[in-house]
Chain A
Amino acid sequence: MSPLKTDSVSYQDQKPDFGPVQSITTESLPATPLVYAAYGTVWVVLVLYVFVLAIKLSRVERDLKDVTARLAKRG
């Protein structure tokens, strides 16, 4: 299978070997979105868990009440 050919100059054509940078640049990553993402994760996980738990509990307790009432009616 031949490599895909494009009109643009490939990265390898431009830089055949590794080389040193002319000036050092530091990667800058903003911290605030990461903090908000972490805080959001806490809320999403906990709210979702509480919500699912509340639904399951109300469903089971409703069924239990219903079945207990049917049992009581039957004697």
Chain B
Amino acid sequence: MTGEEAALFDDAIQSDAYLDRLLGASVPTAIDDLPPGLEPIADAAANLRSYLVRFHPSFRFEERLAARLRAAAQGHAPGDLIEFPGTVGDVEQVERRLRGRLVGGAIASGVSIASLAGAAVVAWRRFRSDRRWERLA
């Protein structure tokens, strides 16, 4: 290892230790605990910490994929009818968990709940309509 590589490796170790402190802190860490010359690294890291925020997928997407995984786990083909997941209590719990986060796409979680309720009504009506056809037959 050349002297230049060794210096880079050493700087990288110090940057990594600084990132551990920065990402573990509830407020941005002061940069005076970094050796001189690494201040630009600290500024860049602070910017990345502030603006690389976490997003959350939409509730509707999360539940739809859960249903697909459930179907796959049960050995069903895509499009098969799967038992409707969860209860109203579960939905409220997930809603509370999602509050305060950015939700993916244009679908707000409130709309997702409305969609979920709509899907349940459609399924119920379809079920009732099928039963009526059975009686007629």
- A and B part of one assembly: no
B-binding residues in A (CB < 8 A): none
